[in-house]
Each structure stands twice: as structure tokens, then as C-alpha cells.
Structure 1
Amino acid sequence: MSDIKIYPIRFTGQVRTIECDVELQKNQPDEFKRYIRFACQNRATTQVTCQCRSGSEGESQRRLKACSSSKNDNYWLARWSNSGSEHAPDCRFYSIWADDRQSQIYASEVVKTISPGCFRIKLPTGLQKKEASGVKAPARQPALTVDGKRQRQPAMSILGLMHFMWEKAEINHWHPNFDKRTRDDAWAAWRLKQIAGKISVGKTSLDSVLLTLAKPGSQAMKNNWAVVNGAEKSAKRLVLISCLDSSVREEQRNLKGSLPLILSAGFPYLVLPSDSIDRLERSFSRELSDWRRGKKVMLIAETDPPVKKFKQLNGKTIPYNTCTVIDAALMTVSDRFIPLDSSWEGVIEEKLWQEKRQFIKPLRYDGEADVFPDFLLQDVPGSDVVPLEVFGMTTPDYLARKAEKLKHYQEEYGEGKWWSWDAHKSDALSNIPAFPAKG
């Protein structure tokens, strides 16, 4: 991996903008510290941004925090929460994880940086047929250890892989400017395919075995065909990402041996064993209910290597590929492909979009659902991020976790620096609190 680099830093105030290049940062530390001190003393009117990806999409997201210590008159810069993955891979402010708490979910060998922006991920089942790690896919709620702490997972589940791809592709980000471009299935497939080229599982590039959303007759369909043929010859497992088809007939909504997918041109015929159906029904009952109610639900699945078979059609022998699903996961998303963990989150995501807010949907991977905020606002003056929390239940355990979370927000962010909505109340929909004012 290449050395970590120092990139120019831009200070934007009310009167003027100053850009401190690498030479100034290294050779004139007192001058650089003076700019940081000014930003610290004028947080409400001064914005500090890293120029590691200057001119690229999302430049405004790479904001930095001006920090200080009263003990020794020291000043320094730090990345804002949930921004580490937005920096260039060789930037000193870069992090694999958007949130440092995500790094506590897995053992150290599960996700490795093999070169700037490229990663090796350990799945429970390798993509080469002969590869098998021998560990079972992690459950949605990791087991407790004897000391009461959550175990670090020995591998990333297929759901975790989907979250990783979504986050690295920044599909879980929204900015009002995104309305100026088309964010449809083809866009999502393109973003996912780009990220897959930077991920390997064992020695296998994810891009070489990934099937993505494709319409009949499209280039994406031909790309899927090529991936299937290559996997069949090399005995490699496939990873596919698509949408459940919400327009299927009632009898097809019971997942009897197959997956009703939409935009799956170029996919092989998929066999869904009964144990895979049981796992989906058990672990993703909410997502299946969303799908049956017409919501957009993404599916990621890993299959055994495709097998070529033949069938007779109009007197001709026609070859086709089939494969068996060995693991699958579901994720409900909005029309903008923002992941949603409840119908109440869908209400808030829609409201954020209508009000033209800039926000992130944190992804939990294989961690605990109640650790991360539901959304993070990024456009509130004077705050790096403002957590948004939707409380939808009133059970004793849930209320206990709610009290802990509110205490955490109060201690970490301070009074008025976070937002919540009690969605369980009878008049909740007509009494959604106003979001913190944007800049």
C-alpha cells in the first residue's frame, strides 16, 4: 500500500477563502496553526475542507473539524464523524469505515485494505468452489460472550457485503443536487459494478462474479451472460444483486423454490432450497412484508457455481444455466435507493427529500440495530452531523434502549444538537417535529 499523503486544506470564511498547500503545512506549522485557531474560534462561519478529491463529486462532504486543547495551546484538524470513507484512500483522514463503531463488529482479518481504495473481504463461504472458511454466516444479532460484550464476527455476512458496497458507492448518501441526475436501477447497477472492481473475496475479484440489475437487450444483460459463462468454466460461485418483483401474482409471493426478481436479464435460473427460504422468512420477515406491500426491496444472494443444462424448445436443443442459492439477504430501500429499517424511516426519508436536505443513512452491517442513528443530517450550521432518531415502539426493553440512546446524544452532541420523533403515538404523522434548520 502506498504512503499516506498530506493534501491541501481549504479554509472558507465569510470574507475570504485560504488554501494551505502541502508545503505550507509542512514548513510553516505556526502559520497553519493560526488558520486552525481562527476556524476553531469561528466555527459557525468558517468551513474547513480537505482537498484530497478536489473537483470531484461530493467535495463539500469532506469537511474537517478544527480541534483545540486549552492545556497546551494546541490546535489540529480531524475528520468529522461518518466521513472517513469520503476521503481519498491515500489521504491521512481516510478510514475504511464511515463510523468507527463499524470497525468493532469484525475481527481484524475480515476487511483488509490491499491497495488504496481496494479491499479484501472474508465471507463465510469463499467464491471459489474449493474455498470454504468453515464458519457459519453470522446471525443478525451476534451472540453474547461470557463478559457480556458482543463478539467480533469472524466473517462478513452477505448482508454486510451489501452494506459495504452501498456505503463505498455512497448510495446511502443524499444531497439535493442529486435530483439533477437520474438515480435509477441502471445507475445503481453501474455504481455497484464500479465498487465490485475494488473488492476481492479470497483471490477472486467480486467484479468477475457479480450479476447486477439489467434490462432485456441491454449491455448489462450481455455483461451478466459473460460473468455466468466465466463462473461456469472456472467453478466459481456467483454474487447477484437485484430487486424483488412486487408485481408478481399472489401465488408467487410465497418463495416456493424460486426468487421472483425484476431486472434480472442475463441471470441463470435460480433454485431456492427450503432452508434458504426458512432463513429469509426468519431473518427478513419485515423486508418480505415490505415487498408484499409493494415496496422496493433489494436482494443480494450467493450461489453455487452455475451448471449448464439443456432443454428442448421447438425441436431445438437450447443450453441454459442454473444454480442454487446458498445464502441471501434483503434490504428495503426508498425510491432513491436509501436503505430503510422501518416504515417510519420511510416517512422521514421522504420528508428529508421533499425538504431538500443533505443526509446519510448509517449502515449497521452485522452489528446491533440500535447502535447507529437512523439518519445523519449534514447541512446544519455549526454541527458536523445531527443525528435523527425515530422511536417506533413502547416495549420495556425498547424504552430502556431509548433512554440510553437519548443520554448518549445529550452527552456527545449537547442540548438541541439532535432530533427525535415518537412515531408510535396515535397522532404521530401529523406531529412530526421540524428538522433542525439548514444553512
Structure 2
Amino acid sequence: MTLVSFDGVTVALTEVQDNPAKYARALERARKTPGYAVCRCLPTSPTAPLRLVIRRYGSLFHLARWPDDGHRHNPKTCSFYRAASQPSRNSNDTLAAIRTIACGLDVKLNTSLSVRTVDRSTRQSSGAASGAMSRRAAPLLGFLQRVWEEAGLNEWAGAPSRGWGTCNAQLVSVLGDGKLNGKPMQDVFHVMRRYDVADGSCVLAEFQSFLDRITTTPAKSERGLLIAELRSVEPSKYGFVVKLRQTYETFFASKGVIESAADSFKPAWAMIGDASARVVALAVIERTKDDNLRIIDLALQLCNSAFLPCDSSFEVAMANRLVAERRRFVKPMRLEQGDAMLPDFRLTDTTVPTAIEVYGIQGNAQYVARKAEKQALYAREGAPCVEWIPPDDLASVQLPPAA
């Protein structure tokens, strides 16, 4: 358990993340003097404290990794840890769609946030002219996965559980005061907060403030992006109703949008409503002429019960087992060319990091060939690897003991 200190108090990081309103005033004071919080994951040096950035998000404050300081944190237990040799992806690529900047993320999506007419195509590009030096644009899923990785939500340090409150805190601390398609991140992007009875009115007010900025007039439509946990998708008279956790707000979607999501994100779609998994949605939202909220584009990410990203129901089962056994591990994110050979999971609590491969697809020639290539790679490098080949019982898989 990581402790943090600010404004004369020392408290568990998870307590701050799950109850941000409770510590808002103390964090605001610490943001002014001395200008940072302190992480207690290691014995603190009085001359070089492990500083944490205090970032404002709406009316609340969240803690983020101090620039270039990640390697100083406890690699085994602290979510702020980042190896010195592990820079942010595309950190030196000026044309990258997603860039890490001092105040958060600078993102260019291939989705328009402002369109002149609602009746035109709902999937327009961001409007930049093509050219040799034009900045690339990220798809919704690529953005969602990159934010998950930047927030460290693909890593597990052996905690017993993780809820949406922690996810929210780590996501908004990464997004910070960045930009999305040239607009202030906090104006066009909202991470749904965990509902807290003690702070319910503030949660609702902040969400409503975000929704109020989504407007449609005869001349222009202003859109917004929302990250939330997906509860259900139900057919309705004119299409579908999408229900999200942490809110009773109703969102509508056309048959085309839903069919595209079901086809593009099959593993996640199949586990909507499954108690062993979580499905996270990144939705582009606009208002109809009748003032209803409509989802015009959607990306889904399958996660296990503790919000670790997974690529299949079998990976969900494996990740749930690793969490239940309090193992330390990471889910490598396949975001770039060359990432295809990454393991499904990697145990980090063994003497030598141990790959875990879940070979859940049978009868697909391309998949079988990649499986053989991976097995040859592990054998050639002498790298330890644990395999699970369903339908073999997951309980029969022998994991190496933690060091």
C-alpha cells in the first residue's frame, strides 16, 4: 500500500483516489505551498522528496507522477513507478497523434469534435489537410488503450482489488490540462466519476456541466468524449439505448453504430454484463435536434474484474486468477508495429520476469503460425514462459512461485 503526504496529513493513495472530494481543500492548499505532494513508497530523503504533481480536474485535485521522477519510486508496489529506460511512447515524435506534454496529453483524434451540419457523415476526420508533414491522428481504441497504459492501469502490484474510483483518478491525472484536437481537454472530455453519496451533488453538477457543452444548432454541432464503464446495450424503437454505470443518463445509438461496435470489438461485446469482467467504453457524443444525447462512435475495451485490459475471455479468467493470488504482473499493450510478439501477461514478482501466454484460438492458421513463432522465440532466448491452452482447466496451469 502506497502512502502519500500533503498539507500535514499522510494517507493511503487509494483513499485519496476513491474519495477525492474529501481531500480537495487539503490538496488545493498543498498545490499552493509547497507546490507538490510527497509519495511515501520508499524512505523519504529530506533533501530529495519523492514529489508528486497536484493537478486540478474540475473542482477536484489528483496526484500524478513528477516529470522524469518515475524511476525513483518503489518498482514493486507504487503505481507512480516508471523505469528510467521506459520513456513515454512517441515522446520524441513531433508528428505523433498522442504526445506527453508537461501538463498532460496532447491528442489528435481522427474524429471531429465540431461539425457544421449534423446531417453530414458522423465519422469525419479531424479536418487537417493531408501532407508529408501533417500530424497523424489516432483512432478511438488506440487513444483509449494509450491512456490506459499511461495511467498504469495495465499493471498490477499485488493489491486485493481496484475499483472505478482508482481508475478515474489515474486517468484524469494523466489527461491533466492537455489538449484534444486543439481544444482544452477538460472542455471536451469527461471521465465518469464514481458516484459518492457524500459528494453526489458535485458529481452530478460536473457531469451536467460537461453535457451542457454538447450542443447542436441548425448551423453547428459541438461534440464531447466520455470514458465510462458500459452497463448494457438494449434495443429501442429507433435503434438502441446505451446505459453506462455511475449515471442514469440515457444515450441513444443507431443500428449502424452498434453493429459496427459489435463487429469491431467482439471479445468485449460478448462479455457485456458478465460479472467476471468489465467493459470500458469511449464514446463520441452529440445532441440530436430533439436535444437527446446520441453516441455517434464507440470504442470498447475488455477488462478483468479489476480493470486490467484483456484481449479475450480466457485472458479475463487468467487475469482474475493472478489478481486473486495477489501476483504482481503487467499486461503489455500492443499499440505499435512490433508489439504483436509481446506476451499476453508478464509476471514481475519472479526472480526473472515470466511470460504468460494464453493460446485460446484453435484452427486459425495465422494464429497457429504466430504461436509457433512465439514459442520459438522463448526457446531461443531461454526466457521462462507459462502456457495455458484452453479448454484445459485454468487451475491445472502451474505458475512459478513469487520470489
The TM-score, its normalising length taken from structure 1, stands at 0.62
Q: CA deviation at 1:272?
A: 0.9
Tell me the residue number matched to 1:394. Answer: 362
The match for 2:399 is 435
Among 109, 118, 125, the residue aligned to 2:96: 109
SS at match of 1:259: strand
Distance 1:322 1:132 in 2: 24
What secondary structure does 1:291 align onto? Answer: coil
Cα pair 2:153 2:308 within 8 Å, conserved: yes
Aligned to 2:153: 171
| Structure 1 pair 170–117 and aligned structure 2 pair: CA distance change class (3 A) | farther
* Superposed CA offset, 1:45-81 (max 9, x none): xxxxxx934875x54479xxxxxxxxxxxxxxxxxxx
1:418 pairs with one of 369, 385, 395: 385
Deviations, residues 151-173 of structure 1 (Å, cap 9, x unaligned): xx942111111111211111121
Q: Structure 2 stretches of 5 or more lacking a match?
A: 1-41, 49-67, 117-123, 129-134
Structure 1 residue 93, shift from structure 2 partner: 3.6
Q: How many residues align?
A: 319
Residues 393 and 231 of structure 1, relative CA distance in 2, 3 Å threshold: closer
| SS class of match (2:99) | strand
Aligned 1:163-312 pairs, distance under 5 A: 163-176=145-158, 178-179=159-160, 183-214=162-193, 215=195, 217-232=200-215, 236-245=222-231, 252=235, 256-265=239-248, 267=249, 269-294=250-275, 295-304=277-286, 306=287
Over the matched positions of the two proteins, sequence identity in percent amounts to 24
- Asked if structure 1 preserves the Cα contact closer than 8 Å seen for 2:332 and 2:345, the reply is yes
- Opposite residue 109 of structure 1, the aligned amino acid is A
Amino acid at match of 1:87: R
- The Cα shift of 1:408 comes to 2.0
Q: Residue in 1 aligned with 2:324? A: 354
Give ranges in structure 1 of 5+ residues lacking alignment.
1-11, 23-50, 63-82, 98-102, 136-152, 310-320
Q: How does 1:328-343 map to 2 (within 5 A)?
A: 328-343=298-313
Residue equivalent to 1:125: 111
Amino acid at match of 1:245: R
**What whole-Å deviation, never above 9, does each CA across 1:111-169 have from its counterpart, x for those lacking one?**
233x336332221113344694359xxxxxxxxxxxxxxxxx94211111111121111
Q: CA RMSD in A?
A: 3.9
Distance 2:70 2:225 in 1: 31
Alignment check: 8 A CA contact 2:318 2:394 kept: no
Alignment TM-score, normalising by the size of structure 2: 0.67
Q: After TM superposition, give the deviation of residue 388 of structure 1 in Å.
A: 1.0
The code of the aligned residue for 1:168 comes to E
Amino acid at match of 2:211: V
Partners of 1:196 and 1:210 within 8 A in 2: no
SS at the partner of 1:402? helix
**Cα distance between partner residues in 2 of 1:237 and 1:127:** 5
Quick check: 2:329–2:348 contact (8 Å CA) kept in 1? Answer: yes
Residue type of the partner of 1:339? P
Question: Out of 39, 52, 61, which is 2:69 matched to?
Answer: 52
